[in-house]
Amino acid sequence: MTGARRGRGLLAASMVAALVLSACGGGGDGDRRDAAPDGIDRSGLGAAGSAKDPDREGPVEIDGAREGGTVRVLSADGLNSMDPSEAYFLNTLSILGGLVTRSLTQYTYDEETGDMVLVPDLATDLGTSNADYTEWTFTIRGGVKWENGREVTAEDVRYGILRSFDRSTFPGGAAYSNDYFLDGDKYKGPYRSGTGYAGVVVDGNRLTLKMERPFPDLPYWAAFPAMGPVPAGEDAPETYLRHPWATGPYMFDDYVPEKSLTLVRNPHWDPATDPARTQYPDRYEFAFQVPATQVDQVLLNDQGDGERTLTYDDVLAENFRTFQDEHPDRLELGPQPCTTYWAPDYRKVTDKRVRQALAYAYPYRDAALAAGQIENVTRVWGENLMPPGIPGRTEYSLLDTAPGETDPAAARRLLEEVDAVGYEIRWLFRGDDPLDVATKDVVVRALRDVGFTPRPVATTVADYSTERRDPDSEVNLRAAGWCSDWPSGGSWIPPVLESSDLDEEGLGSNYAAFSEPDVDRRIREVVMLPTEQQPAAWNDLGRHVAETYFPLFVIGYGGVAHAHGSKVMGHRVDGTLGMPTYKTIWLDD
């Protein structure tokens, strides 16, 4: 449930139907501002990612798909740790989970709805739990082999799960096992606490997971590479990340950390055991840290290897129109479950009307342009904290303006009403990031226009997240971003709005330092509800908080705009990550 840790550099977010967008291409010669992609059908988005299919079975066959060829993947970013216990960036999660490592559960792309569906992976179903979600049982399927032909056992899965508790060996990994599992805060993984942990029990091919507190979303956490098998005795942390053992259709061949990665077919992967993955291309060749301009040029030219190339970076705003007008079939737009918001410090900006004035004054469109975001593609307007794609989410309006609209007059009126003209707003910006500096400039101007006194505080890209997390810093507002780790309101409301112990754990992910006992109590109530009632309950709670307290306001949701060569087929956007659906890719060579 952490936004920043999931590689903010990779993200940008939204929920956009590709067909609608390509239909908008061209734009004509009229007012080109109207050429902005719009008309997004939000009605069907509420269900995105919420679908589960516990009965899905392999093998998967794609109609007309051909075997063979080498898919090249380019990205301007590097590649962090590829150890399954530590993978927690969008790119590492999608490459490992999509191609290399298998977990208890996984997602598959639904061609009809464009949603991701949670289906079984190594487990035969999505797990069964007791009444209060404190004990989950999975059955590990037979016939799954490691890349060396050895059978994958329930013990291997148990060992992999034990590894996910080790926060000092894998500091970059997600901490859900520690947060929810029995004694998760005391057990420190097999290297330091041994393998005698009572929370994960193996009985034949049955795996029982015991929780410290209710964890209804566990089947989603079970889709992370960290919840998959790791071979005990072969897993020295310093070397395993260079070659994690494959259980999926592809295995590591050549890997230069942060620079390049080659994956080849895993001969021991059996499609009959896998309800979602496929193995059409012969090889995948990833190249990292390629300049963004170069990535776009390769894909625009679409020559030679470029025809078999794809990227999971967003195309540059400068090239977006060229892709949209001339190559709409090679541009993949899709959602990313991220929300960018402004969180005034609840302890310092105490008047709700001042917080509302900020929301009216914020220059949504100017800031998006200055940051290089494309309206309705990589920045989608909305007011609900939860982005489209979260089950139970509804659109609601908190302000008199449409989402994404600035209303300086309303802001000024509110400020005058509470006699707060000249109110000082202090927030952090990254002085060595040109886009952030440009954004800061337009925001300063907009705030000044309505009567605020903007005082941006400069910091650096390196120090930004540390300083923002400091509850005692001089700022009284924090610009924040949050991406959900799985499509559930439980991945949004508690981390963003539940009080945190400021002395003990700092702000955590509650950047507004929001604290209302009533809200904390209602969060505990929703967690205990039956799973089918939770989505609507989370949405209602989020709306209640926004209407009653207005602790933060949404700037926009993320979205992605990937491009691929003309021979790459099946490249869609995995809406849970905003990454390519590797499981459906093949080459039309």
Partner 1 sequence: MSTTADLERLAEDLAAEARPDRAGTGVSPHRTALRRLRSDPVAVVSGAVVLVLVLLGLLAPLVTSLWGIHATVGHPDAPRPSEVLLFDGYPAVGPPYEPFTWQHPLGLAPRTGVDNLATLLYGLRTSLGVAVVATVLTTLVGVGVGLVAGFVGGRTDRVVSFVIDLFLSFPFLLGALALAPIVVSRFSTDPDGLALAQVVALVAVLVTFGWMGLARLIRGQVLSLREREFVQAAVVMGLSTRHILLKELLPNLVAPIVVAVSLSVPAFVAAEAGLSYLGIGLTGVPSLGQTINQAVDSFERYPLYLWAPVLTVMVLVLALNLLGDAVRDAFDPRTRR
Which residues make up the interface to partner 1 (CB under 8 A)?
Answer: 32-33, 35-37, 292-293, 316-322, 363, 365-366, 369-370, 372, 374-376, 431-432, 434, 437-438, 441-442, 444-445, 449, 457-460
CA 375 centroid distance within chain: 19
- Which of 382, 494 has the CB closer to partner 1? 382
- Which of 25, 271 has the CB closer to partner 1? 25
Cβ contacts of 260 within 8 Å, gap of 6 or more: 254, 285, 286, 287, 288
Q: Least CB distance from residue 293 to partner 1, whole Å?
A: 5
Angle between helices 408-417 and 434-450 (to 10 degrees): 60
Q: Least CB distance from residue 295 to partner 1, whole Å?
A: 12
Q: Least CB distance from residue 391 to partner 1, whole Å?
A: 30
- Which of 308, 379 has the CB closer to partner 1? 379
Q: Least CB distance from residue 442 to partner 1, whole Å?
A: 6
Q: Least CB distance from residue 379 to partner 1, whole Å?
A: 10
Taking a C-beta distance cutoff of 8 angstroms, is the pair 497, 551 a contact? yes
Please state, in angstroms and rounded to a whole number, the distance separating the CA atoms of residues 446 and 427: 14
Q: Least CB distance from residue 149 to partner 1, whole Å?
A: 49
- Which of 406, 509 has the CB closer to partner 1? 406
Q: Residue 162 is encoded by which pair of tokens?
A: 């034990």
- Start-to-end CA span in the chain (Å): 40
Q: Residue 467 is encoded by which pair of tokens?
A: 């300083």
Please state, in angstroms and rounded to a whole number, the distance separating the CA atoms of residues 151 and 304: 40
Judging by beta carbons within 10 Å of its beta carbon (0-12, 13-18, 19+), is residue 138 exposed, middle or buried?
buried
Please state, in angstroms and rounded to a whole number, the distance separating the CA atoms of residues 382 and 362: 14
Q: Least CB distance from residue 366 to partner 1, whole Å?
A: 4
Q: Residue 242 is encoded by which pair of tokens?
A: 């260079």
- Which of 437, 569 has the CB closer to partner 1? 437
Q: Residue 239 is encoded by which pair of tokens?
A: 């070397």
Pairing assessment for the beta strands 586-587 and 568-569 based on DSSP bridges: antiparallel
Buried b (16+ CB within 10 A) or exposed e, 441-460: ebbbebbeebbbebebeebe
For residue 283, give the nearest of 585, 71, 65 by alpha carbon.
71
Please state, in angstroms and rounded to a whole number, the distance separating the CA atoms of residues 389 and 383: 14
- Which of 172, 431 has the CB closer to partner 1? 431
Q: Least CB distance from residue 478 to partner 1, whole Å?
A: 17
Judging by beta carbons within 10 Å of its beta carbon (0-12, 13-18, 19+), is residue 248 exposed, middle or buried?
buried
For residue 200, give the nearest of 216, 217, 218 by alpha carbon.
218
- Which of 494, 559 has the CB closer to partner 1? 559
- Which of 152, 290 has the CB closer to partner 1? 290
- Which of 201, 317 has the CB closer to partner 1? 317
- Which of 62, 438 has the CB closer to partner 1? 438
Q: Least CB distance from residue 302 to partner 1, whole Å?
A: 14
Q: Least CB distance from residue 415 to partner 1, whole Å?
A: 18
